[in-house]
């Protein structure tokens, strides 16, 4: 979806196209093998790097799937496993999510998971997207998004599930649920999450137009909570986390659950229907044809 956006919308994502080709010639952040003894707290998979500091109770999760942290099935699976592991670790009380890729937090769902795949594969993929959302939106940890790059579509959704959003104050970055720009409809739980954050009218206009916001626009409507210079995103997230962790945890968790439960229940009780909706839509001939033409065009660009 992210790539398709780049072509159709010209808003904020086109940079990723050139990057995808150029990045492939760069190495990605080198991942050293970790000792078994460390694996409980610090795990490095191919796409996600987790550093857990026992002394503070805070884990930093770095998305490091070049070029643009696309949310593929593999990525989502690793992400959910890593998050679940931290959730079950009672000593882990806070999670900061950030990106190791330059200029992008996450470009959203991986379009390759939706092209020429069986209905079963599409269903498996969509279930993984739901799972990511459910894990994050219902997390008992304090979850802070350190948004150090653009964050369209699924990347924005990931940010929206967090308790607090800090974004790099770089006007070249953008954030938003821009699915409509790509001819795709954000499902009801994307919509609900956004409405819970910026209200009904902002959500209506944002989703009808598939708007991508600059950081200052995003701050103005409450899509992010704070802007800081790019090199201070992570340190600010760490400082903010300290404040959040000073709050009595049990009361904070019950309060968070009270705020979010109705929205979560709506997906959990409609999960299979939501998957079916997605599969029916994405496997349509017209949609597949459109994706195919798009990928064809991408190949030519790279050639």
Q: Annotated catalytic sites, by residue?
A: 109, 154, 178-179
C-alpha 141: how far from chain center: 17
Q: What letter does residue 118 receive in the DSSP assignment?
A: -
Q: Classify residue 109 by burial, with Cβ atoms within 10 Å: 0-12, 13-18, 19+.
A: buried
Q: Which residues pair with 175 in a beta bridge?
A: 151, 213
* Selection from 171, 168, 170, 222 nearest residue 194 by Cα: 222
Q: Considering the rule CB under 8 A, would residue 181 count as an interface residue with a copy of itself? A: yes
* Piece of the chain touching a copy of itself by CB under 8 A; list 43-51, 102-110, 229-237, 243-251: 243-251
For a copy of itself, the binding residue among 207, 224, 234, 241 (CB under 8 A) is: 207
For a copy of itself, the binding residue among 52, 126, 164, 278 (CB under 8 A) is: 164
For a copy of itself, the binding residue among 205, 239, 289, 302 (CB under 8 A) is: 205
For a copy of itself, the binding residue among 30, 258, 273, 299 (CB under 8 A) is: 258
* Contact yes or no for 174/150 (Cβ under 8 A): yes
Q: Considering the rule CB under 8 A, would residue 252 count as an interface residue with a copy of itself? A: yes
- Give whichever of 171 and 248 is closer to a copy of itself, judged by the CB atom: 248
Q: Considering the rule CB under 8 A, would residue 145 count as an interface residue with a copy of itself? A: no
Q: Considering the rule CB under 8 A, would residue 8 count as an interface residue with a copy of itself? A: yes
Written as six digits, the tokens of 200 are 């009904």
Q: Considering the rule CB under 8 A, would residue 179 count as an interface residue with a copy of itself? A: yes
For a copy of itself, the binding residue among 210, 227, 278, 282 (CB under 8 A) is: 210
C-alpha 232: how far from chain center: 20
Alpha helices by DSSP H, 210-270: 215-221, 233-245, 249-268
Q: Considering the rule CB under 8 A, would residue 297 count as an interface residue with a copy of itself? A: no
- Give whichever of 191 and 271 is closer to a copy of itself, judged by the CB atom: 191
Q: Considering the rule CB under 8 A, would residue 274 count as an interface residue with a copy of itself? A: no
C-alpha 168: how far from chain center: 16
C-alpha 278: how far from chain center: 18
For a copy of itself, the binding residue among 78, 110, 113, 163 (CB under 8 A) is: 163
Q: Considering the rule CB under 8 A, would residue 185 count as an interface residue with a copy of itself? A: yes
Residues ≥6 apart with Cβ < 8 Å to 211: 176, 178, 205
Q: Considering the rule CB under 8 A, would residue 191 count as an interface residue with a copy of itself? A: yes
- Residue 171's Cβ-side half-sphere holds a number of Cα atoms within 13 Å equal to 0
- Give whichever of 68 and 184 is closer to a copy of itself, judged by the CB atom: 184
Written as six digits, the tokens of 121 are 């594969």
C-alpha 124: how far from chain center: 18
- Give whichever of 260 and 271 is closer to a copy of itself, judged by the CB atom: 260
* Selection from 178, 160, 113 nearest residue 260 by Cα: 160
User: Least distance (Å) from a copy of itself to the CB of residue 46?
Assistant: 33
For a copy of itself, the binding residue among 46, 91, 255, 280 (CB under 8 A) is: 255
* Piece of the chain touching a copy of itself by CB under 8 A; list 51-59, 76-84, 94-102, 256-264: 256-264
Task: Report the alpha-carbon distance of residue 89 to residue 232 in Å, rounded.
Answer: 28
User: Least distance (Å) from a copy of itself to the CB of residue 175?
Assistant: 15
Cα torsion 227, 230, 235, 239 to 10°: value is 0
Question: Which residues here bind a copy of itself, judged by CB under 8 A?
Answer: 8, 163-164, 179-186, 188, 191, 195-201, 203-205, 207-210, 222, 225, 243-244, 247-248, 250-252, 254-256, 258-260
């Amino acid at each position: 979806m992210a790539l398709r956006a780049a072509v159709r919308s010209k808003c904020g994502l086109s940079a990723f196209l050139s990057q995808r080709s150029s990045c492939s010639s760069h190495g990605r952040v080198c991942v050293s093998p970790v000792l078994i003894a460390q694996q409980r707290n610090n795990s490095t998979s191919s796409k996600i790097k987790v550093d857990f500091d026992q002394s503070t109770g805070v884990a930093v999760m770095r998305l490091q799937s070049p070029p643009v942290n696309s949310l593929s099935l593999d990525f989502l699976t690793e992400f959910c496993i890593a998050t679940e592991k931290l959730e079950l670790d009672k000593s882990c009380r806070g999670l900061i999510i950030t990106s190791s890729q330059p200029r992008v937090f996450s470009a959203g769902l991986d379009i390759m998971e939706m092209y020429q795949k069986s209905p079963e594969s599409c269903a498996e993929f969509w279930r993984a997207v739901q799972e990511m959302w459910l894990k994050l939106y219902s997390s008992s940890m304090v979850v802070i998004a350190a948004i150090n790059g653009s964050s369209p579509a699924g990347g924005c959704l990931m940010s929206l599930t967090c308790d607090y959003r800090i974004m790099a104050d770089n006007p070249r970055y953008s954030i938003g649920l821009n699915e409509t720009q790509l001819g795709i409809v954000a499902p009801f739980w994307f919509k609900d999450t956004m409405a819970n954050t910026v209200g009904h009218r902002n959500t209506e206009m944002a989703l009808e137009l598939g708007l991508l916001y600059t950081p200052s626009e995003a701050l103005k409507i409450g899509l992010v909570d704070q802007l800081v210079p790019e090199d201070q995103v992570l340190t600010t997230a760490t400082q903010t986390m300290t404040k959040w962790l000073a709050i009595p945890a049990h009361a904070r968790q019950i309060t968070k659950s009270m705020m979010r439960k109705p929205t979560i229940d709506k997906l959990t009780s409609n999960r299979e229907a939501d998957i079916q909706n997605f599969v029916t839509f994405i496997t349509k001939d017209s949609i597949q044809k459109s994706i195919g033409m798009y990928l064809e065009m991408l190949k030519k660009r790279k050639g």
